[in-house]
Each structure stands twice: as structure tokens, then as C-alpha cells.
Amino acid sequence: MGMGDRLEIRREKSGRGGKTVTTISGFRSRICRQARNGMLKEVKTKLGTGGTWDGDCMEIQGDKRQELVSWLSDLGFRPVLAGG
């Protein structure tokens, strides 16, 4: 599915009421809504956490960077940790 697409994974806290979220950006817009929602559902179940799409950016509750790197690599993406 990923076909080597580079994705940036970062932890964000500012402007979110003190809550930490992990964002994944770099998804190509060619991934259809159904595929995106399927990916989100899979990762939320796998990690036991909440999440949503914000445009082309996936947001997962909590600091789940390492788990997301592993999961996205398995899907064929090239995830990289960015920022703090």
C-alpha cells in the first residue's frame, strides 16, 4: 500500500489543552477515503487508542511514535521521526 512513501511522525502537545498526540503527515491524497478510514480503524484497534484524520494528517492520541514506525514500515511506507 505504502509504495515507499515517506511519512513524518511527530509528537505534538502545543495548542491541544496539554494533551499529547502523535501526528503522521505525508500521506498522498490519492489514498481514497475508504482506505484511510480502514488504516485509522486498524491502528486505533492495534494501539487501543483514539485517533482521527485532520486533512491529510493522521492524529493518534498519546505518544505512539515507536509503535507507528513499526506498523507503517510493515505497510510499506518509509516513516521517519521528525521534530521533538
The CATH number of the domain holding residue 47 is 3.30.780.10
| Cβ atoms of residues 22 and 60 within 8 Å | yes
Q: pLDDT-derived band of residue 71, with 50, 70 and 90 as boundaries?
A: very high
pLDDT tens digit sequence for 50-60 = 999 998 899 99
Quick one: pLDDT band at residue 84, thresholds 50, 70, 90? Answer: low
Residue 17 forms part of a structural domain: yes
SS3 breakdown of the chain: % helix, strand, coil, rounded to 5?
Answer: 30, 30, 40
18-34: pLDDT as tens digits: 899 999 999 987 788 89
pTM of the shown model:
0.88
Residue range(s) defining the domain that contains residue 34: 6-81
Q: Is the pLDDT of residue 2 over 70?
A: no
Q: Which residue has the cell 500521506?
A: 27
Examine residue 1 and state whether it is found in any structural domain, yes or no.
no
Q: How many domains does the chain have?
A: 1
Residue 44 lies in a domain: yes
Nearest residue to 43 via CA among 61, 29, 25, 20: 61
Instruction: Determine phi and psi for 53, rounding to 5 degrees.
Output: -100, 135
